[in-house]
Structure 1
Amino acid sequence: MAEEIDDSGFYRQDFSTVSDWEVFNAQLGDVIQKLNAVEIDATRGSDTYQLNYNVHTETFLVHKTKICVSFYYSTILEQRERNSKDDNTYNSMYYDLMNISRTFGPPLKTSNCKCLHVISSLFGLQRFVVIHPHQSNQKYITNPSELCFFLSAATVVASEYCTVPIFVQIYEPKLNIFLGVGMNATLRTNFDIVVLKQSPVDCRYLSGLLQIFKEKLPFSNVQPISLSVRNIYALETIRFRYPMNVLFLKRFDVNGKKGIGDKYKSWDGNIALPCGYFPDSGTDVYLVYSWVGISEIFAIDSPLHTDFVPSKAHICNMYQTTNVDSYLTSCLRDFLKLDNSKEALETFVGRNVTDSSDGVNMVDARYHLTNPQIRQIRSNNKLNIKEGYQSLKKIAGPLNESELKSFIAFMFPDLYPDNENYSYINDIAARNIEGNPHRIKSSPFNSLSSRLSCVLVTCNAHFGGKNGLAQLWIAFIRELRFIWNCRLSIQGISGGFPDTRTCLLNQKLQMLNYCIERSKCRKYESKKYLSDIGSNIDLEGLVGTNFKEVSDETGNETEDEFFDCTEYVPEGRAMRLGDENILDSDEPLYIPITQDPVPKTDDELQADSEAMLKLGSGRNELLKHIFSHSHFTLNQIGFNIQMMSFSLLSDMEAFKAANPKGKMEDFIRWYSPKDWEKDEFGVGQLSARMRIPDNTWQRVWKQAQPVAANKQKRLFDETTEALKVLSYLETRNIAEIYDMVIITALHAAIIKFKGILETEKILDLFEYKIEALLNDLCHISRADNTEVFDIQQTKSKIEGLIKRLEEYEVQFYQYKCFEQLTGYPDNITFEEIKCKFKEMIENQNSCSINNAEDIGKHIITSYGGELHSNLVTKEYVLRVRANEPTGPHFLRAVVTGEEVRLCGAFTENTTLI
């Protein structure tokens, strides 16, 4: 019989093959099992909707479509009271559904609660899983068969692991429609969301919702239903008029009058960054009235009558949301985009626009220095020199003559006395110490470099972008060339050596100013150049410290005169070294007049360090080699070693000139006292390192001739160094200019905002935030340049800093709107309004108010009966824990106009089915 059966005529199905549904079940089960192992701190929280939520997502391929499984969980869970940890009927979702503290989530979506998933706000759940299409998919779950595929898988996995509810997202994500299931050993809860665009009238009030809810409850339920109601009222948008305000620029004033920003001028008023807010900025205010945990017996809410009116509310909160754009932070963001702009200045302004040959042809520098009309010539802003001098080339760019004049006159007020007087403070360095306690590597406040940085940022944002910035930069360098040619001191720049505690731009300007003062002293002998200088030379490193110079006279630089010590007349003496005498002689020991040490800026010091590193361990031998010859082979060593070698030789020659009978021991007693040791009997001798035979100190001493400082070749050529500074500034590209000024601009922006808060007397509300900004900026500004520092990481930190500054500016705008809303100063005191606003910024832009007092009373009186017409959203939450063994039931209804969103969670006993 079996032989007569044709096997080929039958359809064969291999039931041992695993289906796609079973594969997905296994994958989903593995994910749930792995995520259940996540350790979560169980600590008590007051407001559970302020918890931080984390999400873990894994992607699978189902039917050739990417499907994501996301597990949402709060990092802090409430402490729960349980009779027994082995209670199988217990489940975290049941606790969340019945938890009265999780009745209402945030009424408004803000930046602080973006991590709060809509499921958590609708059902109050702290742990749940969502199955949803991958964001790259344009196809959503709309087919009933697909929904059944995933929902059945969710049911199987939930029944097996009994931990968290699993939801399936259907339709477009923006609709926020989910279906879910949660189970434990005996109970099953179905989660449903229904949206009615045109709902029946009964569904918009509590009376109709109670009827729907009771129909879903088992007949055995006799417990009263717990109700919670929340009404949200929207008030009119409040606007605070703070138009754009920029110092010295009239085009931004309102109707020819001074802007409101003049009110906020303080000692930092010369920070030339724009402040104010865009005209469309505004604050939306919402009043939220809540009734939580009341019985259905004591509540009436129908189309004809309602007990839920603002005057009878149990809880009243006020929320603010702002749509604010600040000129200050938007200006900084625009400037931040220049960090990768490698365009040269020639691209925007052409070539040779700052060539000194096309500028002021100096015939007699003394004439320009002493001419009393020189400032009047510059005040005309013709950008030329009268009396036969050629006109400077016009700089191409979007800035017109008037705007360019305003910028330049602001930075160089002493050269343009007919303009508004924005004079510099007298002691830039002292003010920098006072105003920069965080030691940020920026520019001193109200200095030329600080003004230039702020003006460049403003110019980039509002005066032609990179083109305007390049035009202004070249005009600035042109002014510097004029100042250098006329040997005028640079106002707004402190004297002395470049201060390496400041930014590189300020150091370059300090170097130029130092060169000008040196040139004036040297060429015109107008005054003695005084400085305190010391020296302490280390044998191996040749490092200098302090010694004193009382004169800087210059003689013939090209002629060297050498004399025998026995015939040499002492010269170049500054003062006697205490009561010390020359060894083995009764002649006093004199401190010589020496040359100034060579000033260096950060980039030059960095170049010198790199040269030293390239020498490696052989640098000491190389030093010995160059000191063993009468003429140095300086092309074999780094510039840093050259200058230190010259400096040591110069000091030794000056010492021999001042002390013809002096010995090396005498030189060491003055130059490096730590290398002069005395025994217990008071007998002095050189230190052990100085007694090494034929060491470098001895070699240099033998080569040194008695030559006074004023007859030595100069260690520092101010003309060369000044031209180097000007050339350096001229050859920067846009990105390099950005690097030089960004820290100063950020520092100035923070201080400017701080000054506004001080004027409003609310700095104490923001002080810790401002201090945190300054600390972070200090860290960014002092990043070690020798390390491999990620440029993108630095940019990310700066972006984060600007974002935080913008957040604080938004809060200040909220404060001004808050003043208007509360009727200050008529209805509330200054201390009360500060206290309320502090509560608001600490509680996600919300604060509690009382209808019968202060703010609430003022609002109710102002709006009167119109408040009801401003009702935008009603929210009802119905919950009951029915008689065992059915478990809890939950219904949330969100009514917005004619639309109603119903979110239900109803539990049934699986053992009875």
Structure 2
Amino acid sequence: MNEEIDDQDFYQEDFTALTDWEVFVAHLEKIIHDWKLPKVKKGPPLKKGELSEGEWDRASEKILFSDVEFIITRHKLKLKPVENVTSPVDEETEEGRTQALDDMMSLENDFPPQIESSLGPGCSHPHPLARWYGLREFVVVAPTRDIISDECRVKILLSSVYIAVNNSNCQIPFFVQIHDPLQHYYMGVCEAKGIRSEFEMVNLRRIPPHCKYLTGLLNLFKTKIASPVPLDTVSVAVRFTYILRDWTSNNTWTQEPPDFDFLQGETLGVAELGKLPFGATFDPISELHLFATWPQLMENVVVDSESYSDFEPSQAPQWSVGVKMAEQPACLLSEYLTEFVQLYSSKRTMKDLLGDYVDRGNSGETNLSAPFNVLTESRVPTISKVIKKAKGAHQEPSQEGPISNSLLMPILYFLFPDAEDEPKSPYSEELGNNCSFNNQQMEELANGLKSAPVDGLVWRLAVVMSHVMHTLGGLRAAVHLWYEFTQEMRYRWEKGILVPGVTPGFPDPRTCLLHQKLQMLNCCMERKKMREQMARVETLGTEASESDSEDEEFFDCSTEQPERDAKDDRRGSRHRHKHSLWNQPVGRLSKHGNLRLLRTGEHLYIPVTQEPTPKTEDQVEEDAEVLLQLGTDAQGAEMRARMMSASLLSDMESFKAANPGAILEDFIRWYSPRDWIEEDEMDEYGQKKGSLSARMQIKGNMWLDVWEAAKPVPARRQKRLFDDTREAEKVLHYLESREPSMIGNLLLPALIHAAICRLLQEQKEELTMLPDAFKRIIKIAERISRNPRPTSRHYQEFTHEIVGAEAIIAQANSLEHKFCSVSEKSHSAELKTFLSKLMHLPEVDVPGGPRGSVGSRIRTMFSEAQKAAQMISELDVVNVSEETPWSSSSSNFPQPSTREFIMRTMVARPAPTSCVTPQRLSVVLKKNQIRLAGCFSHDTTFH
């Protein structure tokens, strides 16, 4: 049974197909060519600090290798363009060294800064490979998710990189990341011009005994090189790092929160109540790092072994320092704002917090307003007061609220200084809305804040309320103070006492709502006084008119000139109108130029009209909402017209009363001159003729209807457009009905303004990052103050910005306290520059090194910390210094937290006839860790 077998059924292997490994290598080569790495020109030598201070470009690509995703990242230092760059032809004539080998042997960028600043993205930190090898450009191959730790996989990956680098003639170092990414373990290669440089690394958690000192490390370095010829002297660069964490009392920056015990005394008064606290409650500088550096030493001139060491920090030629800031320092201004936002977010009510105190106050029993009785009540005894005193022996003692009377009285006198005979903190006569900004730009930005006058009543109330929230009892104390504040507002309305610390005039929509409400209350009291005064004048005028009927003209209009009146009488004698007794002109303010009434020819008089109606912004919004809700139908339009014509009707009635016989055209000529179209022809009274504008002649015009309905009634006899009693009661009810969250919403705009002013008062010119932060803070504050319903998130955003700016200023103050004496703060420009750099940079050179004034201050700080730690006396220090001179210096410093060594040499490898190639080993020794990063080169041509 032989069956025919088709050859196509057999599997035929295609040996020309590419494997995954070959595809991976091809992708690497493609990326190398796409990035044009083989054509990279050799650049100029790096300058000192350029490796750490410069910006880095990073480009990435992703490729797959056996279902494992890798990311290929190119790291390149941005260099400023330099003329006369070495050409490729010049490179061929140079010694066979690549850019990477030149950078590796350069001494200018040893030990770049490694302390990360807590001030934000102000400094650009290079990749760890740039620190360990001094490279300006390199490529890293790293898995995105998997961990490459198997030895076989590591070798395959390295061999792939070797092949791709050789095939593409790439002179840029390539590294492969293996093991856990947190370990920063890399192996790599750089091959060009017949020299192969292999980058190897060792990372151990336990330091071998023979690697703890420089002597053993030099032996390890020489053994690894295995030179066939005697080695030249090895060059060594050394850096020791000393950390100061425990500050002594002389160097610690502490700031206590406000203490209100001074309110009970007379020494400090109440000046501190109007000022928000500022600064960190604990030292914002957590660590000071001192770097003692020996930049270039030969191995035969220093000794560093277990028994003896030449590396004494006080003898180092270079000192540099860096500071580590506390991540989230507790600052007082930020705490105040954060706690006050809790008042805004509170869901509790006044009844929940004060209990029966409010009810007792309303019923006349002993209540929280007892302190206000001393502050605001008249000194003339009333019957009720006498009766209470008579029954005082039988009543229970008065119960104080959350704020004791001894603290409450100074606070109330601070808010209402006019209640004292000799006020200690009176309000300024000219209340402004800007604090003392340091530049015009900040002042212009702050003009957009919808706040209250600086150091006015609302400003003081917001600041004092924040003190009460933070120090005097929290939420209950805050609502207690608000209750006393509303009681004072009602008392002042009843007694006609103006509210102090408020800008005069109508409610200003540029200010916050609470300030507008207090302005409205003052307007009501002023209108009430004016109305009562006019009533008294009218009564006196009525009595006088009984004896002389012409006395009414005395206060109704201004006196006319006799000669001009005689001339006018002769000119218009034919049209002289004699008024009847019931139609006499009243309510005249003054004569209006040369205008005469069109019908009678008499002079046109400006009437006394009712004052405009003041409104707060919430009332304006309510009126607009009501008008919108009326709809667009005929009935709604009529109702809207009536509501809008109330002021127009009042003015028309006043005009008719002052000008008997006037017509609508006369009113238009005075009230809305643009609606009167003049002609060239003159009338019989010597004034130009004219007619009403087109919009005034439209049928059903509201002006015509209102004019026909208007009666000649003077302003003082009209129904009040502005009912001061009702509006004042509305303001008082508004204030008394506020819940804690609403109180916070009313006061937060002023508190935000006060916080910004406090921050600007503490700013320092040398902190260049602050102006941008202030702009952000002010912009956020403007948005919040103009948002009728801000959320807690908005306030949290503002508080976050305040925290950052306050922390920076607190850190600068702490550094100034540690490094400056009183005289140095104002005279040493070099010291100020040093402190400014210390705030901006992760590492700053100490001026004058260990022997300068700053170095002396640093030695003192370390010495005091060591004395406190070891509890040794001054006598012990003297005795030790006499026995071992070098140990005195060592005793001033703790054991170094980090020791770093960089060893370099040139040697012919692997054969005596090979070209001389550079060798380098970087060593980092910590308490329980050692990291060795070596670059060992050898000749691949003559081997």
Distance 1:837 1:528 in 2: 72
The answer to whether the Cα contact below 8 Å between 1:657 and 1:707 also exists between their aligned partners in 2 is yes
SS at match of 2:934: strand
Distance 2:464 2:157 in 1: 60
SS at match of 1:570: coil
Moved more, 893-902 or 187-196: 187-196
TM (norm. structure 2) is 0.70
Taking structure 1 as reference, are residues 247 and 867 closer, same or farther at Cα in structure 2, changes over 3 Å only?
closer
Question: How far apart are 1:450 and its partner, in Å?
Answer: 1.4
Distance 1:468 1:810 in 2: 29
Deviations along 1:723-780, one digit per CA (max 9) or x if unpaired, are 43344445555555444333432331232244456xxxxx4435x7665555434422
Taking structure 1 as reference, are residues 183 and 769 closer, same or farther at Cα in structure 2, changes over 3 Å only?
closer
SS at match of 2:220: helix
The answer to whether the Cα contact below 8 Å between 1:228 and 1:878 also exists between their aligned partners in 2 is yes
| Alignment correspondent of 1:652 | 652
1:275 aligns with 2:278: yes
The answer to whether the Cα contact below 8 Å between 1:133 and 1:140 also exists between their aligned partners in 2 is yes
Question: How far apart are 1:848 and its partner, in Å?
Answer: 3.0
Distance 1:24 1:527 in 2: 103
| Alignment correspondent of 2:508 | 499
Give me the CA root mean square deviation.
5.7
| Alignment correspondent of 1:715 | 721
| Alignment correspondent of 1:515 | 524
Moved more, 398-407 or 456-465: 398-407
Q: Could you tell me which of 678, 701, 706 is aligned with 2:707?
A: 701
| Alignment correspondent of 1:604 | 619
SS at match of 1:574: strand
| Alignment correspondent of 2:336 | 331
Question: How far apart are 1:169 and its partner, in Å?
Answer: 5.3
Q: Could you tell me which of 893, 896, 900 is aligned with 2:923?
A: 893
Deviations along 1:303-357, one digit per CA (max 9) or x if unpaired, are 5665554555443323333434322223323444666x36142574278865798
Distance 2:660 2:458 in 1: 47
| Alignment correspondent of 2:807 | 807
Taking structure 1 as reference, are residues 304 and 733 closer, same or farther at Cα in structure 2, changes over 3 Å only?
same
Question: How far apart are 1:654 and its partner, in Å?
Answer: 1.8
The answer to whether the Cα contact below 8 Å between 2:506 and 2:520 also exists between their aligned partners in 1 is yes
Distance 2:644 2:398 in 1: 42
Distance 1:152 1:397 in 2: 84
1:849 aligns with 2:847: yes
Partner amino acid, structure 1, of 2:805: L
1:288 aligns with 2:291: yes
Distance 1:874 1:800 in 2: 38
| Alignment correspondent of 1:765 | 766
Q: Could you tell me which of 208, 213, 225 is aligned with 2:221?
A: 213
Deviations along 1:429-464, one digit per CA (max 9) or x if unpaired, are 346577766312222221221122223334444455
Listed as ranges, the gaps of 5+ residues in structure 2 are 438-442, 539-554, 557-578, 682-686, 864-887, 909-913
Question: How far apart are 1:712 and its partner, in Å?
Answer: 1.9
1:246 aligns with 2:258: yes
Question: How far apart are 1:825 and its partner, in Å?
Answer: 3.0
1:873 aligns with 2:898: yes
SS at match of 2:898: strand
Question: How far apart are 1:414 and its partner, in Å?
Answer: 3.8
Task: Note the 1:99-248 alignment, pairs <5 A.
Answer: 100-112=107-119, 116=125, 117-124=127-134, 162=170, 165-168=174-177, 170-171=179-180, 173=182, 176-183=183-190, 190-200=198-208, 203-217=211-225, 219=227, 227-235=236-244, 237=247, 239-246=251-258, 248=260
The answer to whether the Cα contact below 8 Å between 2:677 and 2:690 also exists between their aligned partners in 1 is yes
1:568 aligns with 2:583: yes
The answer to whether the Cα contact below 8 Å between 1:375 and 1:414 also exists between their aligned partners in 2 is no
Distance 1:903 1:70 in 2: 21
| Alignment correspondent of 2:798 | 798
Moved more, 507-516 or 216-225: 216-225
Question: How far apart are 1:51 and its partner, in Å?
Answer: 4.2
Distance 2:483 2:411 in 1: 11
Distance 1:2 1:123 in 2: 73
Taking structure 1 as reference, are residues 870 and 450 closer, same or farther at Cα in structure 2, changes over 3 Å only?
farther
Q: Could you tell me which of 358, 362, 373 is aligned with 1:358?
A: 362
Moved more, 150-159 or 228-237: 150-159
Q: State percent identity of aligned pairs.
A: 27
Greater relative contact order (Cα 8 A, min sep 6): structure 1 or 2?
2
The answer to whether the Cα contact below 8 Å between 1:167 and 1:179 also exists between their aligned partners in 2 is yes
Q: Could you tell me which of 722, 731, 752 is aligned with 1:725?
A: 731
| Alignment correspondent of 1:318 | 321
Deviations along 1:886-913, one digit per CA (max 9) or x if unpaired, are 8754432223357433223445677889
The answer to whether the Cα contact below 8 Å between 2:202 and 2:932 also exists between their aligned partners in 1 is yes
Task: Note the 1:739-778 alignment, pairs <5 A.
Answer: 739-756=745-762, 763-765=764-766, 772-778=772-778
1:345 aligns with 2:353: no
Moved more, 586-595 or 42-51: 42-51
Task: Note the 1:363-382 alignment, pairs <5 A.
Answer: 375=375, 377=377
Taking structure 1 as reference, are residues 346 and 394 closer, same or farther at Cα in structure 2, changes over 3 Å only?
farther
The answer to whether the Cα contact below 8 Å between 1:424 and 1:491 also exists between their aligned partners in 2 is no
Deviations along 1:101-155, one digit per CA (max 9) or x if unpaired, are 4322225332147763544444455666667788xx9x97666567667767766
Q: Could you tell me which of 424, 427, 443 is aligned with 1:425?
A: 427
How many residue pairs get aligned? The number is 821
Moved more, 295-304 or 658-667: 295-304
TM (norm. structure 1) is 0.72
Larger Rg belongs to: 2
Distance 2:102 2:628 in 1: 67
Taking structure 1 as reference, are residues 911 and 720 closer, same or farther at Cα in structure 2, changes over 3 Å only?
farther
1:840 aligns with 2:838: yes
Deviations along 1:279-317, one digit per CA (max 9) or x if unpaired, are 565554333233435666766655566555455544332
Deviations along 1:152-182, one digit per CA (max 9) or x if unpaired, are 7766777788567444253483xx3412325
SS at match of 1:232: strand
Question: How far apart are 1:270 and its partner, in Å?
Answer: 4.3
Partner amino acid, structure 2, of 1:49: S
Distance 2:154 2:385 in 1: 84
Partner amino acid, structure 2, of 1:740: L
Taking structure 1 as reference, are residues 647 and 402 closer, same or farther at Cα in structure 2, changes over 3 Å only?
same
Distance 1:746 1:194 in 2: 55
Partner amino acid, structure 2, of 1:834: K
Distance 1:732 1:132 in 2: 61
The answer to whether the Cα contact below 8 Å between 2:583 and 2:660 also exists between their aligned partners in 1 is yes
SS at match of 1:477: helix
Partner amino acid, structure 1, of 2:362: D
Taking structure 1 as reference, are residues 198 and 512 closer, same or farther at Cα in structure 2, changes over 3 Å only?
same
Distance 2:27 2:397 in 1: 72
The answer to whether the Cα contact below 8 Å between 2:350 and 2:740 also exists between their aligned partners in 1 is no
Listed as ranges, the gaps of 5+ residues in structure 1 are 362-367, 530-549, 552-563, 627-632, 758-762
The answer to whether the Cα contact below 8 Å between 1:353 and 1:395 also exists between their aligned partners in 2 is no
Partner amino acid, structure 2, of 1:513: N
Distance 2:312 2:535 in 1: 85
Distance 2:358 2:852 in 1: 68
Deviations along 1:39-95, one digit per CA (max 9) or x if unpaired, are x9x999964423456878899999999x78484857844557853479899987667
| Alignment correspondent of 1:556 | none
Taking structure 1 as reference, are residues 576 and 131 closer, same or farther at Cα in structure 2, changes over 3 Å only?
farther
